[in-house]
Amino acid sequence: MKIYTKTGDSGVTSLLGGKRVRKSCIEIDAIGEVDELNSYLGVLVSLLPEDAYVQERAYLKRIQHHLFNVGGIIAAAQTDLVSVPQITNAHLEEMETHIDRLTVDLPPLSQFILPGGHRAAAVCHHARAVCRRAERRVVELRAGIDMDQESQFFLNRLSDFLFTLGRYINMKEGSGEVVWEKEK
């Protein structure tokens, strides 16, 4: 089977269920943002040493599967397809548990911090920014179509998780946080 079909050469593609749409439509844009985020999580996993970040690597890989599902949810939003795996409240609670686990060892935030520090932490912050953009696209999409709210909530929690994970990595690696300094 060839990877190329040439059916998208005219600037259209198919959503689940076969509906043909322009590649510039909001659904495809949102799916692309989620895909980009998923790619950054793959980079992040590759940067984390296997022995030092066992739980974090395993959970990031689970998140990647959930993000693939979010893309499917978006692609199937205007169909009767119910076979697409859904994001549930249990997924949100699981993420909150991971955020809380990482937060226990972190000093309280008293200042704004900038992206940076350890390379993996910097990638966390980049992924967080991409996640926020994906969330904005899903919010925009949900304003125009009937789509589950849990996918939006998942992206919101994920940006919090990535922020917390970036802080955790900087602490664990001794890199320190880059504190924002108000210009004088």
- Determine the longest span between alpha carbons in the chain, in angstroms: 62
Helix and strand numbers, DSSP H then E, in the chain: 5, 4
Residues 6+ apart with CB under 8 A from 137: 26, 29, 30, 33
Residues 151-165: tens digit of each pLDDT: 999 999 999 999 999
Residues 155 and 70: beta-carbon distance below 8 Å: yes
Instruction: Confirm whether pTM is higher than 0.85.
Output: yes
Angle at Cα 75 formed by Cα 73 and Cα 79, nearest 5°? 85
Residue at 36 is within a domain: yes
Classify residue 183: in a domain, yes or no. Answer: no
Cβ partners under 8 Å of residue 177, min gap 6 = 113, 117, 167, 170, 171
What's the rounded Cα separation, in Å, for the pair 8 and 159?
Answer: 32
User: In this predicted structure, what is the pLDDT of residue 81?
Assistant: 63
Give Cβ neighbours of residue 52 (< 8 Å, ≥ 6 apart).
172
Residue at 97 is within a domain: yes
Tell me what pLDDT residue 82 has: 65
Query: Residue 9 domain-assigned?
Result: no
The Cα angle at residue 126 between residues 129 and 51, in degrees rounded to 5: 130
Q: Which residues of the chain, if any, have pLDDT below 70?
A: 81-82, 184
The answer as to whether 150 is a domain residue is yes
Please state, in angstroms and rounded to a whole number, the distance separating the CA atoms of residues 154 and 150. Answer: 6
> How many domains is the chain built from?
1
Instruction: Return the pLDDT at 127.
Output: 99
Is 1 part of a structural domain of the chain?
Answer: no
CA angle 80–83–89, rounded 5-degree value: 100
**69: helix, strand or coil:** helix
Residue 71 maps to which CATH number? 1.20.1200.10
Structure confidence at residue 158 (pLDDT): 99
With respect to residue 7, please indicate whether it lies within any of the assigned structural domains: no
Domain extent at residue 118: 20-78+85-106+113-174
Domain membership flag for residue 119: yes
